[in-house]
């Protein structure tokens, strides 16, 4: 059984993961509007990934005998000032999520919740990868600029990304 502090934090994380999914869906829509289907695809895959994270947290709470409390999701932005702005916002958001995951781990440690610590290790590692991936895209965008052949080539590369539910492999 989950202690109340851990349960409350996990329910907040479910909400945060759902918000993340909708934020990335909003970014995908923005890229579609701008005629960048590859970037739109990358964000749509990111949306799917975040939903799988929310589902894994949901299942964990249920499996531990906790009560999942679905909450309203705050409005996310739907306009940005171009490609670099989107990826800067994405990096900032992923850094915030890293902080949330680290906070969950801190709670698990302070509550001596070994099962939660084991469960959360995957997310700690995942956030390192998330931040690195976004930073790499942001660095590339800054290198090639936001117009011309470089963006065309990046957009084509972004079309290749597919969703692989890594949360299933972690179980």
CATH number of the domain that 154 lies in? 1.20.1260.10
Distance CA 14, CA 33 (A): 29
Does the CA dihedral 164-95-101-44 come out positive or negative?
A: negative
Q: Which residue reads 């409390």 in tokens?
A: 69
What pTM value is reported for the model? 0.92
User: Is position 117 within any domain?
Assistant: yes
Does the CA dihedral 139-145-147-150 come out positive or negative?
A: negative
C-alpha distance from residue 55 to each of 3, 31, 59 (Å):
20, 26, 6
Taking residues 3-20, report their average pLDDT.
Answer: 98
CB 150 within 8 A of CB 160: no
Residue 26: per-residue pLDDT: 98
CB 81 within 8 A of CB 41: no
DSSP letters of 81-94? Answer: SSHHHHHHHHHHHH
Q: Residue 33 — pLDDT band, cuts 50, 70, 90? A: very high
Q: How many domains is the chain built from?
A: 1
User: Is position 72 within any domain?
Assistant: no
Taking residues 130-154, report their average pLDDT.
Answer: 91
CA neighbours closer than 13 Å in the CB half-sphere of residue 125: 9
User: Is position 73 within any domain?
Assistant: no
Q: What is the pLDDT of residues 36-91, one digit of tens each?
A: 999 999 999 999 999 999 999 999 999 999 999 999 999 999 999 999 999 999 99
Q: Is the pLDDT of residue 5 over 70?
A: yes
- Domain around 102: 4-67+78-169
Q: Is the pLDDT of residue 171 over 60?
A: no
Neighbours of 125 (CB within 10 A): 12
User: Is position 95 within any domain?
Assistant: yes
Q: Which two tokens stand for residue 146?
A: 């936001």
Residue 132: per-residue pLDDT: 98
CB 98 within 8 A of CB 120: no
């Amino acid at each position: 059984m989950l202690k109340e502090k851990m349960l409350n934090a996990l329910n907040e994380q479910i909400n945060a993961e759902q918000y993340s999914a909708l934020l990335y869906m909003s970014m995908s829509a923005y890229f579609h509007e701008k005629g960048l289907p590859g970037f739109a695809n990358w964000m749509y895959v990111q949306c799917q990934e975040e939903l799988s994270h929310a589902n894994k947290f949901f299942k964990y709470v249920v499996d531990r005998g906790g009560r999942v409390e679905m909450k309203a999701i705050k409005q996310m932005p739907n306009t940005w000032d171009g490609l670099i702005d989107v990826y800067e916002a994405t990096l900032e958001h992923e850094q915030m999520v890293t902080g949330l995951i680290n906070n969950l781990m801190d709670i698990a440690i302070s509550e001596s919740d070994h099962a939660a610590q084991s469960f959360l290790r995957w997310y700690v590692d995942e956030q390192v990868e998330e931040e690195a991936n976004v930073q790499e895209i942001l660095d590339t965008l800054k290198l090639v600029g936001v117009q011309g052949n470089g963006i065309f080539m990046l957009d084509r590369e972004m079309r290749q990304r597919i969703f692989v539910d890594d949360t299933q492999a972690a179980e």
